[in-house]
Amino acid sequence: MNRRMRRIHRILGATIALFVLMLASTGILLNHTSDLKLDQRYLTWDWLLSHYGVTELQPDAVFLIDNKVISQFGQQLFVDATPVLQESRPLKGGVSQGETFVLATDEALLIFTADGEFVEKMTSSSGVPAMIQNIGLFHGDPVVQTRDGLWRSDFMLEQWEKLSLQGVGWSVAQSMPDSVAEQLQHYFHGKGISVERVVLDIHNGHIVGQYGPWLLDGIGALLLILSLTGIWMWAKRLG
């Protein structure tokens, strides 16, 4: 009986040694969270962000105008990484006009200064053609493509004439440059996942998902058995 107990004790000890090391080390770290500034250090590893459900940014539209990156995420428009305007209609394109740039949705033109400050939204009530499909430039003049043809204006964007022409430089969607993507990642997802959160989740088992705490409960039960078998053997030896 004593030999069998020793065997159980040895096997249990070897099985849970790694978990004990993990629990002890994470427990010590958590005890000193403030001293080690674990709540102020952040991890941005892709696999970790993905594990925590922080998914990769997926802009609905990206356009490069002069040196600015214009993007739309849902109803939010960004110039570079700065949120500038809520716009529910999808962005169709944009063109530069020197001191300003003009973005087109299917229902409106959005005017911005070259610095990215919002000036005005112009709709069909201001004379802008409806059902816009794209915007481009022809000899410096803005041209919009709509369902019923091409319309050309001047920098004021108030008078539009219908025309048929070739050689318009249409706005083309682009992919997001890495530098701006990184800033936007920071805007949407903050600094990342704090080290304290990761250590705590390792300690309580949440790091492996919803069954993690049950796994830790099992390890706890094994530790109880290990302690009881140890006490039993110790008492046997004394007796």
Partner 1 sequence: MSSITVSARGVYQTDEDFLSEVFADSVPKSQVVWLKGELRQSLSDILGHDYNGLRIRYWRDQNKSVWILEEIGKEQPITFGVVISKQKVEAVKVLAFRESRGDEIRHPAFTQQFEQVTLDGNKLDRQIDGISGATLSVWAMTSVVRMALYLDKFTSS
121 binds partner 1 (CB under 8 A): yes
Binding mask 154-193 for partner 1 (x = CB under 8 A): ----x-x---------------------------------
Q: Which stretch binds partner 1 (CB under 8 A): 32-40, 41-49, 129-137, 182-190?
A: 129-137
Smallest CA-to-CA distance from 93 within 7, 159, 169, 151 is with 169
Structure tokens that stand for 141 in this block: 């003049």
Asked if 79 and 112 count as a contact pair (C-beta separation under 8 A), the reply is: yes
Of 6, 30, 54, 127, the one binding partner 1 (CB under 8 A) is 127
114 binds partner 1 (CB under 8 A): no
Of 44, 73, 107, 116, the one binding partner 1 (CB under 8 A) is 107
60 binds partner 1 (CB under 8 A): no
Q: Crossing angle of helices 195-204/2-31, nearest 10°? A: 160
Residues that bind partner 1 (CB under 8 A): 75, 84-86, 88-89, 107, 113, 117-127, 129-131, 148, 158, 160
